[in-house]
Amino acid sequence: MFQSCADPGALSDVMWMLCYLTTGKHMNLYYAFGTVLLLLAITAPLALVFGFGGAILARSRIPPVSLIGKGYIAIVRGVPDIAFFLFFVIALDQGIEWLRHRIKCPDWGQDIWQGNDFVVCAEAKMPLSTAAQSVHETYAFALAVVTFAIVFGAFAANVLYGAMQAVPRAQVETADAYGMSPAQVFRRVIVPQMWIYALPGLSNLWMVLIKSTPLLFLLGIQDIVYWARELGGTATPQFTDYPHGDWRMWYFLFLLVFYLGFTRVSEIVLGRITRRLSRGQATMAGEALRKVAT
């Protein structure tokens, strides 16, 4: 905050607003925007990796392997996102602490489950109680990334599995006739061509991922929706130096504009990628591009 903001009551309207928007709490709001963008930047490719792996498992000719892939897709897609987020983060966190407990405290003489409490030795806590606040925040963010990636990876796996099946069978048979092995057919024929069939579904999944970022609050991360609600309210003690009415509508309107703008930019980028991938493809978009070129 600027030095001139020490006495809010003596400020003009413009300076009051400038000082208000540069308080430490507002800096947390701006930081939360960076957190959301970082989450999307990491989660999207990681979810694609989970999805690609799930699709490969689902189309395997080995029944147990195929069952694992299809089970992953069916289970995660069939559970509401909120329920999965609430369950998986707790399960993953306790699983990590359980493993650390087994390694670091082999002589522990008490039960880990004591009634409804999950109790491990202090050395097994993740992160340690003595760790800096930044470590706790990084750990919570990492759990959020893994959870988002697993959830949206299942949807991506379903999309990619369908895209792999949509590659024209004639091209696969031609590659077989030329003597390519199944691995070569998959790597050189199916994977390069499946993206044009997968992109519409992946585009929708990207939009859903953007809209799902407020679920960060369920994972203990103070996201932009949390700060918008806190900053816009009238009864939060931290902001008594800058009293105002109920401004939540304006804060949420700002979030609305942010999300609409972000999705619009995403649509433009995805549209260009679609046109790029459609060139030379035997699809309606590919035919339209050929007609324009001629």
Pairwise CA distance, residues 108 & 61, whole Å = 46
By the 8 A CB rule, do 290 and 278 touch? no
pLDDT tens for 239-265 read 556 777 788 888 999 999 999 999 999
Q: Looking at residue 117, what is its pLDDT?
A: 80
Q: Is the pLDDT of residue 85 over 70?
A: yes
Domain ranges of the chain: 3-293
Q: What is the length of the chain?
A: 294
Q: Looking at residue 47, what is its pLDDT?
A: 95
Q: Looking at residue 287, what is its pLDDT?
A: 47
pTM of the model: 0.82
DSSP symbol at 243: -
Q: Looking at residue 244, what is its pLDDT?
A: 79
Q: Is the pLDDT of residue 44 over 90?
A: yes
Averaged pLDDT, 272-280: 79
Averaged pLDDT, 48-53: 95
| 139 closest CA partner among 82, 81, 83, 100 | 100
Pairwise CA distance, residues 101 & 103, whole Å = 5
Q: Looking at residue 5, what is its pLDDT?
A: 75
Q: Provide the terminal-to-terminal Cα distance of the chain, rounded to the nearest Å.
A: 61
Averaged pLDDT, 142-165: 92
Average pLDDT over the chain reads 84
Q: Is the pLDDT of residue 223 over 60?
A: yes
Helical spans, DSSP H, in the chain: 13-20, 24-58, 63-78, 81-104, 133-166, 169-177, 182-185, 191-211, 224-232, 248-278, 284-293
CATH architecture, range 3-293 = Orthogonal Bundle (1.10)
By the 8 A CB rule, do 209 and 44 touch? yes
